[in-house]
Amino acid sequence: MRPSESTNLYFNQAADRLGMAEWLRKLLVTPKREVTVQVAFERDNGQIETVLGFRVQHDNSRGPMKGGLRYHPAVDLDEVRSLASLMTWKTAVVEIPYGGAKGGIGIDPKTLSRKEVERMTRVFVDEIHEIVGPDTDIPAPDMGTNHEVMSWFRNQWEKYHGFNPAVITGKPVEEYGARGREEATGRGVGTLAVKLMKRLNVRPEQCRTVIQGFGNVGSHAAKFLSEAAFPVIAVSDLSGTYYNPKGLNVTEMLSYSFKNGNQLTGYSGAERMPGEALLEMDCDLLIPAALGDVIHKENANRIRAKTIIEAANGPIDPEADAILSAKKVTILPDILANAGGVTVSYFEWVQNRQHYRWSLDRVRQELDRTMTDAFENVWQQSASLDISLRTAAFMLAISRVQRATELAGMSH
Ligand code: GLU
């Protein structure tokens, strides 16, 4: 199944429950605009490299479109289309005044030097600068991009349009970035893990937690949860799985990875296992925080976790979702679980537009409130209609986008 088909399947499960008319479904799933551009940039050896860049603007009925930029070899138009649509539902679930978009380039940035990534980013901006802006479409970091890439993006965009840091979020803190933006997605995942396990009557000390991915999202979630007394018994990154049944020393692993180019390669404070071992481990809570589609029909039956929190975008495909739901596994869906990142992006944009800077405490408090309100709404909806948390989240999101669409005059 292609990524956009998976996302639309989840959309349709909720649209069915809402009894939504066919014309409206078509209107809401069809992206407003899809752009593919040539990104031709100079390698350090003088050769010209040509790759494809994408920006999909899915929906703007609730506000300017918003979503990250992903640099990864698997990026193609269909993946970006699916991720753009997820952003529309994500911003609606947490009720921030944005629509959804996503962009990216199909390349592995680890094969490029820092200067090459900068040149590629600047060319990408040259190609798409007319369709992004603080009132239309606001990019942000995603897999393979970081605050430095945001800085280059902003600098190049401002060459055409003048000073306006609100054109992009996830910027360096010293250059109009928000305090707490980098930790925000992982922190939001951690905050909701605490709420969810409380609802499920599992005490933190009993909740053996396993996290796939130790990048920006996975590492901050691990930190938050170990501080909240959850035993984080395994984490993995590209170098393999690191395991300790009594709980890993997350603080030590974070500083090791930081000093080691953001990788755990060579870390010796835990038992080593192959990367694939992690998903099927005996645990109470599984947090996939890396790529999409890692849980599919071939491995779904071997998953032993009773609860899964989708920190990555789209880690469970619909076939696996059906298998896991039949096994009564509780799944907190991506559009709610990982919305902390875009929520603090919104706070960054607000600060930029007000030329006023919030303290880290304020960012954390407002993030906590936004995530908690959204979680409580989704939980109530799921309990009162006896439906999955995913369908409940999609129903709330879709109803809000539908309402905005109708208020804009689109109705039969
Ligand atoms: N890339 C992140 C996401 O998938 C953040 C998007 C943003 O901050 O706009 O939610």
Cα distances (Å, whole numbers) of residue 20 to 15, 95, 145 = 5, 21, 37
Q: What pLDDT score was predicted for residue 283?
A: 97
Q: What pLDDT score was predicted for residue 224?
A: 98
Q: What pLDDT score was predicted for residue 410?
A: 84
Of 66, 102, 171, 223, which residue is the catalytic one?
A: 102
- 26: exposed, middle or buried (C-beta count within 10 Å: 0-12, 13-18, 19+)? exposed
Q: What pLDDT score was predicted for residue 354?
A: 97
- What does the pLDDT look like over 155-191, one tens digit per residue? 999 999 999 999 999 999 999 999 999 999 999 999 9
Q: What pLDDT score was predicted for residue 282?
A: 97
Distance 147 CA to ligand 1 centre (A): 13
pTM above 0.85, yes or no: yes
Q: From the CB of 142, is ligand 1 less than 6 Å away?
A: yes
Q: What pLDDT score was predicted for residue 275?
A: 85
Distance 74 CA to ligand 1 centre (A): 18
CA 18 centroid distance within chain? 26
Q: From the CB of 140, is ligand 1 less than 6 Å away?
A: yes
Q: Which residues of 290-316 are buried (b: 16+ CB within 10 A; e: fewer)?
A: bebbbbbeeebeebebbbbbbbbbbbb
What CA–CA distance (Å, rounded) separates 359 from 186? Answer: 19
Domains of the chain: 21-166 (3.40.50.10860), 184-337 (3.40.50.720)
Split the chain (412 residues) into runs of 10 and give each run's mean pLDDT: 93 97 96 98 98 98 98 97 98 98 97 98 98 98 97 98 98 97 98 98 98 96 98 96 97 96 94 91 97 95 97 96 97 98 98 98 98 98 98 98 93 78
Q: Which residue owns the Cα nearest ligand 1 atom 7?
A: 342
- What does the pLDDT look like over 273-297, one tens digit per residue? 988 889 999 999 999 999 999 999 9
DSSP for 357-398 reads ---HHHHHHHHHHHHHHHHHHHHHHHHHHT--HHHHHHHHHH
